[in-house]
Structure 1
Amino acid sequence: MTQDSAESISQAEDTHVVDRLVRERVRRAPEAAALVHRDARISYAELDTRVDRLARYLRDLGVGPEVPVGVCLERGTDLPVALLAVLRAGGTYVPLDPTYPEERLAHMLRDARPPVVLTQRNLHERLPREGRHTVLLDADAPTIDRFSCEPLDDVRIHPDNLAYIIYTSGSTGRPKGAMLTRRGLAQLVRAQLETYALTPEDRVLQWASASFDASVSEMVMAFGAGAELHLAARDEVVPGPGLVQLLRDSRITALTITPSALSALPDGELPDLALLVAAGEALPRSLADRWSAGRRMVNAYGPTETTVWATVQPVAAGDGGVPPIGTPVGGFHIYVLDAAMDPVPAGGVGELYLAGPAVGRGYLGLPARTAAAFVPDPFGLPGTRMYCTGDLVRCREDGLLEFVGRADRQAKVRGFRIELGEIEAALDAHKDVRECAVVVLDAAGAADSGSADARIIAYPVLRGAAAASAMELRAFLESRLPEHMVPSAVVPLSRLPLTPNGKLDPAALPLPGQAADSDDKVRPRNGIEGLVAEIWSDLLGVEDLGVTDDFFALGGNSLKATRLGTRISRAAQVDIPLREVFKARTLEKCARLVEEALAREAARTASEEEPAHTMDGR
């Protein structure tokens, strides 16, 4: 951490901490790049000007402390400008992912009740506008630009005022809004400056969506150091060869990514990548060994409710054993407790509780859920609280923590925290579903607690032979849930298997592909279909594939589809665009993609080998 950066946040309760860091960079290097998106480069001076003008406009609309502002924007330079402007105006930003189903966005707006929503012309039709002022940042730019760019220094904010509200999966069937404070944001800035020690020469990729708290970490990481924040479209950050190319072309030096996404990246030379932060789920030793060579790699842990993170641990190739989640970052107190709320001795497993200034306020409009999760801290000062994470950890003899699993039905899939009850509630809403169960399994069919191979499987019991098909039920869920919560496979059953005491027997649930009548399958009919089937089988852990089987219905997801495209291209020695792989869902269509690519390659080769003719035809 530089001395200047440290001095700019020397007060533990600096409510304008991010603003101070941006303005410090404006004072020292106003023309240095702050935001980079494709060919656009916005300097710190321009960023500061745009933020001030929008903040003054928001103040004119009544935005101030404790006033929520919805932000529904595509990835690009408008997004960080909008988030910073809401904070500078004193408000609370509420990110609304434009890729979410409209019903989910509508619920979030009803719940948060922002009087102002920032969006763009191509997105505003997806948002209900009743009772709120909609600002189109592109169409309304002339109006916003008329506001003064003089520093907005008269906003009085308390450290316990909210900075942002991020919606997480809810066990009741509806997402819940986690409320995070200015005090927690200041603590995050300080801890990241101390831990990562980036410089103005660094380039940070904004990989996470604004609807997830890793995006807060990425912005703080960049602006805290006066570095460049690089933005990219959603399809450009999908794990695969394209993301590796983006990292290489943009010379990214700092990346935060989930282990499951990291596992989908093909090998590639990334000489500029100096800091790699693995976060969001358990880090396998194999990934730590593969990616830590030649760079600094850290394993970070923390729930949304404690302002992004709470513990961190450097990892290196050859450390051996399970990569620990480490020790607490500055300001945090950690407790590993048993059911009686007594500390667990070293070597034992207990539930992890987190205390400190970065612990959030609770859940918006859910006092009972807040009281259950944010409990009095019996080891701290009177009136302080600690957050019950629901995560089981082991405290090693050396004081480091190891993640073990969950104490409840919450799951981690591809870095996303998911309440299985929310998926069950969505599926139960279908008229043809009598009852259902949702589980998370690994590739071998065992219960999963957060590995890179974790997949969500839904088992509905239908009301009759004429009920909806598995694909129709999956489409129903896609219209109600964000992509990361949609089950990889939907397996209709005549009844749910139960244990002798009447509870669900997860071990008796059939894996995708096992419930269908194998006699009706059309097996691969040629070498290309056989090649594709072999790769599918290895990726999905499913045998006896038919040509009409659906990759996603059998447990595929976007990460596995990325791996599929890479492996098919390598095996067939042809280039197949990833977007085409996503469209070709069945084995038959996927094989046809390969055949068409091979035909194009053969035609190109023949054209190159055709002898040139002279003018007289010889």
Structure 2
Amino acid sequence: MTATENRAEHPDAELRDASAPREVFVSALLQAVPADWTDLAVAVTAAYQHRMTAAHDLVLAVDSGPVRLTVEPTTTVAGLVAQVRDLRGRAGESAQPGDDAPPVSAQVFLADDAAPVEGLAFAFAHREGVLWAEAKGDPGRFTHEHLAEHTSRIGHFAERLFGAGPAAEVGEVDLLTPAEHHRIMHEWNATAHEVPQLTLPELVEANVAAHPDRLAISHYDERLTYAELDRRANRIARLLIGRGAGAGDIVAMVLPRSIDYVVTALAIVKTGAAYLPVDTGYPVERINQVLSDAGVSHTVTIAALSDSVLVAAEQIVLDQESTRTRLAAADPSAPADTDRRAPLTPDAPAYVLYTSGSTGRPKGVVVAHRAITNRLHHMQHQIPLGPDDRLLQKTPAGFDVTVREVFWPLLAGASIVVADPDGHRDPAYLAETIVAENITITHFVPSGLKVFLQEPDAAKCVSLRRVVCGGEALPAELQAWFASVLEADLYNVYGPTEAAVDVTSMLCPRNPEPGPVLIGRPVWNTWLYVLDEQRRMLPPGVTGELYLAGVQLAEGYLGRPELTAERFISDPFGEPGARMYRSGDAARWRADGVIEFFGRLDHQVKIRGFRVELEEIESVLLRDGQLSQAVCLVREDVPGDQRLVAYLVPVTGTDPDIDKLRAQAVAALPDYMVPTAFVVLDQLPLTSNEKLDRKALPKPEAQVTPVGREPSTPEELLVAGLFAELLGVSSVGAEQDFVELGGNSLLISRLINEIHKRSGVRLRIKKILEDPSVQAIAALITA
């Protein structure tokens, strides 16, 4: 067996030998371009550092002095070598990098240079047409293993780059060593696992058959066994089928969180249609924008919400007497394929969820049964639920976690406890419910978990065995705080709506180390790639864009083929026809195969776990012609206090009506997308390249003029002082409204905690939201 064959079969052997520089044959290239070997050494170092750091403006420390080079992905070998020769050939001040130059990226040692190493360096040697490169580094910053990896990687990279010839482009050459490629593709992404090819109804019906009398779902005194749940869902499904619902349709659920919500979700997928959950807390305009865009065939709702549904779709009102009569007479047996319009298969769409859209309108994501059932099976493998487990279903309908909350317990034979419709906003209610209902598992977004841990009664939730956290970055400090309050296991999950809820998962350590946010490893039948701008793999430790592939990818965006083609692209690393999804998130592999997460690469943000495209908010503000420009930004001027700020440039010669603009946003957008502050500017700040300079947008000044009478009672003075403290304003009137002044549900939770600390009175968020004025909240304290 030759050395080459042995390395291919055992690629890690290459890293074991990595301290030995790799031979790179450069005779042919030296004959093709006017250069000597030292020029090639500097050129390949520049190309390597460009690929490793994504920097285009590089300074290298060479024997003749610092050299400043411009490297683009399209830069050719010949072009880069010519640039190096020109700069090294110029002597004196004209060759200096300039005051605006970036820091030195690396040192380049040629032949017998013996300069001290500062940071990272590459030492080159040349003999008879063969080039060697060895990485050296400051021992305080680079381990022997890191330097060995650099040595192996730059050797392979140089071999490929120079072997491709003078016209080869820097961005088109693979950067990884064979050993790194093997680890990423065949070890860290070794996720293939056989999963039953079943639909959501089949998974639930298996438990109905096995445990018909086991408790499936409850809400206070209302309780349904698996058999009762199934019969109720079957009746609704048959009513929908009788009214024409089936394969190819989307049936909307405009329902508050309730047992009916869970039953209806199961009923819709039994028809063969996909279900579309709609958050009833959305403005009527937003609800109907989603329903219209989806082209729903039917809506299922209740009488109290039926007037909010304005689209021309057949409507089923569950609590109407006529509907109750039809359901009572319906066949309670499960619909079969002979009852449905077409056979129900794992490839059929299961649900549609809408997320914020950068074009000014939300976009629907279509997810098939095989995608979500894969996630549920892996979840059950990693966090097994059993008959004694009780999951608290509390996530808002517009968040894809609701899909997991509904179907995971029913797949596992566990039970669901349904929280009150606004219960997720109230940490005191959640703690009380967890204790009273013996909840063993629930989900939080990190911002919500932070508020919950501030609740004094959170420590009493000893029945909790597992908490799943996702939707936002989960920092180590919050993990440690959780561990100090609760004995439960904490799991961090990551994934966009476009990939069936979550694609990575990990059990958080009780004593996490500070540093980047860790999101774990890929779940079953899912692959992760960290790629550069040319969609080529990056090695461990190098940050790039995270791409997702595998069975959990969504079908695409409903009715948006161009957007689907832009985000769901061909997977060059998978089987023919495979796709991958551009997440837009920055990430990197750790040396042990865990993914580190660094947030967004664009201006998309997460607010309370919900994805927000800021352009959608801006388009709403620009509607009525008051403004020439609008820019939105999430600021965190006080640690832990995220504020959505709108920067407005009015039409020349006008003063914008801020109250009208706020009302416009409230009428069109979910509450988490309504700006809490509006800043009027004469013009937006620009960079030297005439692009928006977001860093130069000013901090909003808290200018609130007290309205109405002044606070007078001790309770009003307490509440008014807390308004000022939490909202960063000087003073407020007794009649002023916390929400209108910029408060949100997370700040209301903090307000409740502060009132409790200072008065001993525990208020409920539901009561505060009914009238969030100083005088009304003060009256609640008095009562």
Same fold (TM > 0.5): yes
Match of 2:497 among 304, 309, 314: 304
Instruction: Tell me the distance in 2 between the aligned counterparts of 1:595 and 1:305.
Output: 45
The 5 Å alignment of 1:420-435 reads 420-435=614-629
Secondary structure of the 2:429 match is helix
Segment drifting more, 549-558 vs 169-178? 549-558
Segment drifting more, 92-101 vs 301-310? 92-101
Instruction: Tell me the distance in 1 between the aligned counterparts of 2:496 and 2:379.
Output: 16
Segment drifting more, 422-431 vs 139-148? 139-148
CA displacement 1:277-326 (0-9 Å, x = unmatched):
01100012222112234111100100000000000011132121244100
Q: Which residue does 1:494 correspond to in 2? A: 682
Secondary structure of the 1:397 match is coil
Q: Which residue does 1:107 correspond to in 2? A: 289
Match of 2:528 among 334, 354, 360: 334
Q: Is the 8 A contact 1:521 1:545 kept in 2?
A: no
Secondary structure of the 2:645 match is strand
Q: Which residue does 2:90 correspond to in 1? A: none
Q: CA deviation at 1:550?
A: 6.0
Secondary structure of the 2:761 match is coil
User: Could you say if the C-alpha distance between residues 521 and 149 of structure 1 is closer, same or farther in structure 2, counting changes exceeding 3 Å?
Assistant: closer
Instruction: Tell me the distance in 2 between the aligned counterparts of 1:37 and 1:102.
Output: 27
Instruction: Tell me the distance in 2 between the aligned counterparts of 1:162 and 1:577.
Output: 39
User: Could you say if the C-alpha distance between residues 435 and 248 of structure 1 is closer, same or farther in structure 2, counting changes exceeding 3 Å?
Assistant: same
Q: Which residue does 1:135 correspond to in 2? A: 316
CA displacement 1:370-408 (0-9 Å, x = unmatched):
011001111000001011110111221221112101111
Q: CA deviation at 1:599?
A: 5.5
User: Could you say if the C-alpha distance between residues 102 and 26 of structure 1 is closer, same or farther in structure 2, counting changes exceeding 3 Å?
Assistant: same
Instruction: Tell me the distance in 2 between the aligned counterparts of 1:361 and 1:101.
Output: 28
The 5 Å alignment of 1:281-300 reads 281-292=472-483, 293-300=486-493
Q: CA deviation at 1:89?
A: 1.3
Match of 1:27 among 209, 216, 228: 209
Match of 1:36 among 215, 218, 223: 218
Secondary structure of the 1:100 match is coil
CA displacement 1:135-185 (0-9 Å, x = unmatched):
112211211221212232325123322111111100000000001011102
Q: Which residue does 1:448 correspond to in 2? A: none
Pair 1:168-2:168 in alignment: no
Instruction: Tell me the distance in 1 between the aligned counterparts of 2:654 and 2:564.
Output: 43
Q: Which residue does 1:472 correspond to in 2? A: 660
Q: Is the 8 A contact 1:470 1:492 kept in 2?
A: no
Structure 1: which 5+ residue stretches go unaligned?
A: 1-9, 446-451, 601-618
Q: Is the 8 A contact 1:413 1:455 kept in 2?
A: no
Q: CA deviation at 1:24?
A: 2.7
Instruction: Tell me the distance in 1 between the aligned counterparts of 2:287 and 2:706.
Output: 44
CA displacement 1:435-469 (0-9 Å, x = unmatched):
21100111339xxxxxx532211112234787454
User: Could you say if the C-alpha distance between residues 57 and 530 of structure 1 is closer, same or farther in structure 2, counting changes exceeding 3 Å?
Assistant: closer
Bigger CA radius of gyration: 2
Q: Which residue does 2:695 correspond to in 1? A: 507
Q: Is the 8 A contact 2:438 2:463 kept in 1?
A: yes
Pair 1:212-2:394 in alignment: no
Q: CA deviation at 1:535?
A: 4.1
Q: Which residue does 1:253 correspond to in 2? A: 440
User: Could you say if the C-alpha distance between residues 12 and 505 of structure 1 is closer, same or farther in structure 2, counting changes exceeding 3 Å?
Assistant: same
User: Could you say if the C-alpha distance between residues 490 and 291 of structure 1 is closer, same or farther in structure 2, counting changes exceeding 3 Å?
Assistant: same
Q: Which residue does 2:540 correspond to in 1? A: 346
User: Could you say if the C-alpha distance between residues 595 and 122 of structure 1 is closer, same or farther in structure 2, counting changes exceeding 3 Å?
Assistant: closer
Segment drifting more, 499-508 vs 390-399? 499-508
Q: For residue 309 of structure 1, what is the amino acid of its counterpart?
A: D
Secondary structure of the 1:234 match is coil
Q: Is the 8 A contact 2:375 2:523 kept in 1?
A: no
Instruction: Tell me the distance in 2 between the aligned counterparts of 1:599 and 1:62.
Output: 55
Secondary structure of the 2:469 match is strand
Q: For residue 187 of structure 1, what is the amino acid of its counterpart?
A: N
Structural RMSD (CA): 2.7
Instruction: Tell me the distance in 1 between the aligned counterparts of 2:314 and 2:778.
Output: 53
Segment drifting more, 273-282 vs 395-404? 395-404
User: Could you say if the C-alpha distance between residues 566 and 278 of structure 1 is closer, same or farther in structure 2, counting changes exceeding 3 Å?
Assistant: same
Q: Which residue does 2:263 correspond to in 1? A: 81
Q: For residue 551 of structure 2, what is the amino acid of its counterpart?
A: P
Q: Give the 4+ runs in structure 1 shifted more than 6 A.
A: 517-530
Q: For residue 109 of structure 1, what is the amino acid of its counterpart?
A: L
Q: CA deviation at 1:492?
A: 2.8
Pair 1:314-2:507 in alignment: yes
Q: CA deviation at 1:28?
A: 2.9
Q: CA deviation at 1:497?
A: 2.8
User: Could you say if the C-alpha distance between residues 469 and 550 of structure 1 is closer, same or farther in structure 2, counting changes exceeding 3 Å?
Assistant: farther
The 5 Å alignment of 1:383-394 reads 383-394=577-588
Q: Which residue does 2:382 correspond to in 1? A: 195
Instruction: Tell me the distance in 1 between the aligned counterparts of 2:729 and 2:334.
Output: 64
Match of 2:278 among 91, 96, 106: 96
User: Could you say if the C-alpha distance between residues 137 and 436 of structure 1 is closer, same or farther in structure 2, counting changes exceeding 3 Å?
Assistant: same
Secondary structure of the 1:325 match is strand
Q: Which residue does 2:298 correspond to in 1? A: 116
Segment drifting more, 291-300 vs 325-334? 291-300
Q: Which residue does 1:144 correspond to in 2? A: 327
Q: Which residue does 1:454 correspond to in 2? A: 642
Secondary structure of the 2:647 match is strand
Q: For residue 203 of structure 1, what is the amino acid of its counterpart?
A: R
Q: For residue 658 of structure 2, what is the amino acid of its counterpart?
A: A
Q: For residue 425 of structure 1, what is the amino acid of its counterpart?
A: S
Instruction: Tell me the distance in 2 between the aligned counterparts of 1:52 and 1:584.
Output: 41
Q: For residue 667 of structure 2, what is the amino acid of its counterpart?
A: S
The 5 Å alignment of 1:59-70 reads 59-70=241-252
Q: For residue 314 of structure 2, what is the amino acid of its counterpart?
A: H
Q: Is the 8 A contact 1:290 1:317 kept in 2?
A: no
User: Could you say if the C-alpha distance between residues 536 and 511 of structure 1 is closer, same or farther in structure 2, counting changes exceeding 3 Å?
Assistant: farther
Segment drifting more, 104-113 vs 433-442? 104-113
Number of residues of Structure 1 aligned to a counterpart in Structure 2: 577
Instruction: Tell me the distance in 2 between the aligned counterparts of 1:231 and 1:189.
Output: 19
Q: Is the 8 A contact 1:173 1:421 kept in 2?
A: yes
Q: Is the 8 A contact 1:458 1:491 kept in 2?
A: yes
Q: Is the 8 A contact 1:470 1:490 kept in 2?
A: yes
Instruction: Tell me the distance in 1 between the aligned counterparts of 2:623 and 2:407.
Output: 40
Instruction: Tell me the distance in 2 between the aligned counterparts of 1:555 and 1:115.
Output: 38
Q: CA deviation at 1:596?
A: 4.5
- With normalisation by structure 2, the TM-score equals 0.69
Q: Which residue does 2:118 correspond to in 1? A: none
Q: CA deviation at 1:595?
A: 5.6
User: Could you say if the C-alpha distance between residues 522 and 442 of structure 1 is closer, same or farther in structure 2, counting changes exceeding 3 Å?
Assistant: farther
Pair 1:267-2:450 in alignment: no
Q: CA deviation at 1:41?
A: 0.4
Instruction: Tell me the distance in 1 between the aligned counterparts of 2:231 and 2:712.
Output: 63
Q: CA deviation at 1:112?
A: 1.5
Q: Is the 8 A contact 1:409 1:419 kept in 2?
A: yes
Q: For residue 497 of structure 1, what is the amino acid of its counterpart?
A: P
CA displacement 1:96-154 (0-9 Å, x = unmatched):
22222222222222221122211111111111242x21111221121122121223232
User: Could you say if the C-alpha distance between residues 534 and 98 of structure 1 is closer, same or farther in structure 2, counting changes exceeding 3 Å?
Assistant: closer
Q: Is the 8 A contact 2:426 2:765 kept in 1?
A: no
Q: CA deviation at 1:232?
A: 2.1
